[in-house]
Amino acid sequence: MNMFGRVIMAFMPITPRALVRFFARRYVAGTELKDALKVMSELSSENTSFTVDVLGEDISSIDETEKFVREYTDLISAISKSEIDAHVSLKPTAFGLDIDYALAIEKLSEIVEMANKSEIFVRLDMEDSKLTELTLKATEDLYKKGHNNIGVVLQGRMFRTPDDLRRISKSMGKDADVRICKGIYLEPPDIAHTKYQDIVDATAEAISSALDLGMYVGIASHDIPVIEASLTELQNRGFLPDFQDPRDPVPTKRNGKGNGYEFQFLLGVRGDVRRRLASEGHLTRVYLPYGKQWYEYSMRRLRENPGVAWHVAKSVIFPWTNRR
């Protein structure tokens, strides 16, 4: 699979931009806010909620943060005026976290405060390992400023994740809210698992630990073994769809959230599994990216993990295996 991905990547520099867009359109809502609202409106009939992400990260100048502040301001305003059940997700580096930490916290605080007024939750995405500590610190510092409508992402493949789960649980208490995913970044073997089964097992264990620590848990995986393991762990702990979280104390209940957990999927991936889980009463959420930087986003994801190319190609060649 990775070999197939690397072959595709070898041809990407000479691949017409229009062809890249053809493949990307399944996974990116569009270039404008109106495109994201349209896709959410269409998918809302499938009994799902959303997390919206404005594409863009790794800015080179702090002045570039202003465009993201404006875009997220417009996004939050649009969600609050609509009947769509949606929260937002953002890349901390889009706000200059790795350039000017203090100013980034100031900008992020503005966004989180505005979102809070509309009962919208804000998730800080996790980027590669160079930014793990900085992102966790930003989450904790924003929480210390009184923002309890924030959460973070932790990646199952990272060796440090069990300790980070305990850290966030301690610093945020019943407000602790994590999205747990495998992680798309291919990290070195001295800090992360590199074999598929090890990554799957570590991700499933992280989800189990987060539940035991009393966190609200976003189970963000398209891997059937992780999903099935999570369902078993939920059942063993007495979680039932549409019933109260059985833990004591119960994590903070937020607008648009489930009873202690939810299942999350990328736009365009495992739609059949998402619909099945929703039909069984589980809260599901679609991670929905949009923005003018769709090309950079698509190319970066392929460079970071060439194995993704296989999944993209498979969905086009065998569309019945992965309905949107």
By annotation, the residues acting in catalysis are: 125, 179
Task: Determine the number of helices (DSSP H) and then strands (DSSP E) in the chain.
Answer: 12, 8
- The alpha carbon dihedral of 175, 144, 120, 126 has a sign of negative
Q: CA separation (Å) from 32 to 54, 64, 143, 251, 289?
A: 9, 18, 30, 35, 10
Which residues are CB-neighbours of 252 under 8 A, at least 6 positions away? 148, 174, 175, 177, 216
Which residues are CB-neighbours of 235 under 8 A, at least 6 positions away? none
And the tokens for 96?
Answer: 């200059």
Rounded-to-integer distance, Cα 81 and Cα 94, Å: 25
Rounded-to-integer distance, Cα 28 and Cα 268, Å: 8
The amino acid that residue 147 corresponds to is H
Rounded-to-integer distance, Cα 228 and Cα 2, Å: 24
Short-list 313, 319, 218, 324, CA closest to 5: 313
Burial 251-271 (b: 16+ CB within 10 A, else e): beebebbbbbbbbbbbbbbbb
Q: Is 266 helix (H, G, I), strand (E, B) or coil?
A: strand
Q: Tell me which H or E stretch contains 153.
A: strand 150-155
The amino acid that residue 130 corresponds to is K
Short-list 259, 221, 224, 230, CA closest to 242: 259
And the tokens for 271?
Answer: 């739609």
Q: Can you tell me which residue has the tokens 């889980």?
A: 277
